[in-house]
Amino acid sequence: MPAHPSRNTFHVACLLGVAAAWSSCTTEATVQRFREKHGEFGARATANAPITAVGSYLPESTIHKEPGEFTLTQGLLDATVPVPQSEDSFLVLGALAGVRHYQFDGVPVLADDDLHRYGLRIGYGKFLSDDLVVQGYWQPSIYSDLDGTLNSADYRFYYGALLAVYRTSPDWFWKVGVLGTDAADTGAVPLGGFTWHFAESWSLQTLLPRDLNLVYQSPDWTAYFGFLNDSDEYHVRSPAALGLQDDVHVGELVAHVTLERHLASPGASLLVRAGNTIAGNYDYGYGNGTDDLTGTLESGWFLAAGFAWRF
């Protein structure tokens, strides 16, 4: 399991505490007016819950033509919550907090490590009309293995996202935007996609390059069949004997089936996920000519489980 549990709990508590304090400025009447006017738009534009907490397990993974293997255990909290300020506008508050725990076996030089990511999401959104919403958030973050004193290479002050969603009919929602991230060398990735409700309980939903899913929704269940992409850059230090540090890229593209069971408690759900890695780009090393894992992730199974919350 990920190391430093007390440290992880502290970061998560701080981020959520700030969001909770800000959300207290919203009145119940404002929330009610906002939901009455735009609640159906939000519910049909995406099936994704605004808050998820998921643990995943990817065993015995290998990089194409590279020696050794690794087991990846990950815990991730992902929260992006709209907090209504008027019937047409809202704050965007949330947090991203997670740890990737790598256990290497037979990989030269690399030592077991924990890659941490902690970010606070602060933004704003507005319905420019009943059919068009524009929203964005800034996400100042730390992406690091936290081995040693933090420096400028551990911080990501330019992370964030901007997204516009336009409804052309009750069944079609188009999405376009941009994501600030070091997962790509450009420092930004264009976002594009749509939601298409083609049957009473079925829809096709995508926001590339993040995800593509066939979604089934009922009062008791939500099921997803599709693809998820999770990749980013972290700053790491080498074992003390080498005294090196570098930025590493890790990421997985997975095919998955996710089942989400809605509970009696309003907004809460349990979810389980299973699937297979179908691709992934790794560039994991300590720089200065040391051996590393570079290349495409080989296929392998994974499991995940967690919670989701809606409002």
Residue 41 parent element (H or E):
helix 28-45
Per the DSSP assignment, residues forming a β-bridge with 27 are none
pLDDT in tens, 93-106: 999 999 999 999 99
pLDDT confidence of 22, banded at 50, 70, 90?
very low
Q: What is the mean pLDDT of residues 275-287?
A: 92
Give yes or no for a contact between 229 and 209, defined as CB atoms under 8 angstroms apart. yes
What single DSSP character describes residue 48? -
Considering the entire predicted model, what is its pTM? 0.89
Task: Give how far Cα 206 sits from Cα of 46, 47, 104, 246, 270, Å.
Answer: 9, 10, 34, 33, 22
Closest by CA position to 137, among listed 124, 155, 119: 124
Closest by CA position to 135, among listed 177, 104, 105: 177
Q: Which domain holds residue 143?
A: 5-309
For residue 297, give the amino acid letter. L
Per the DSSP assignment, residues forming a β-bridge with 219 are none
pLDDT above 50 for 6: no
Cα(124)–Cα(134) distance, rounded to whole angstroms? 9
Question: Which tokens sit at 254?
Answer: 């997975």
Number of domain units in the chain: 1
The pLDDT mean for the chain works out to 90
Give yes or no for a contact between 134 and 164, defined as CB atoms under 8 angstroms apart. yes
pLDDT above 70 for 18: no
Cβ-based neighbours of 226, under 8 Å, separated by 6 or more: 211, 212, 213, 214, 255, 256
Q: Does residue 173 or residue 30 have the better pLDDT?
A: 173
Q: CB 294: neighbour CB atoms within 10 A?
A: 16
pLDDT in tens, 139-169: 999 999 999 889 999 999 999 999 999 999 9
Q: What is the mean pLDDT of residues 200-220?
A: 97
pLDDT in tens, 39-92: 999 999 999 999 999 999 999 999 999 999 999 999 999 999 999 999 999 999
pLDDT value of residue 25: 54
- Report the number of secondary-structure helices (H) and strands (E) in the chain: 2, 18
pLDDT value of residue 253: 96
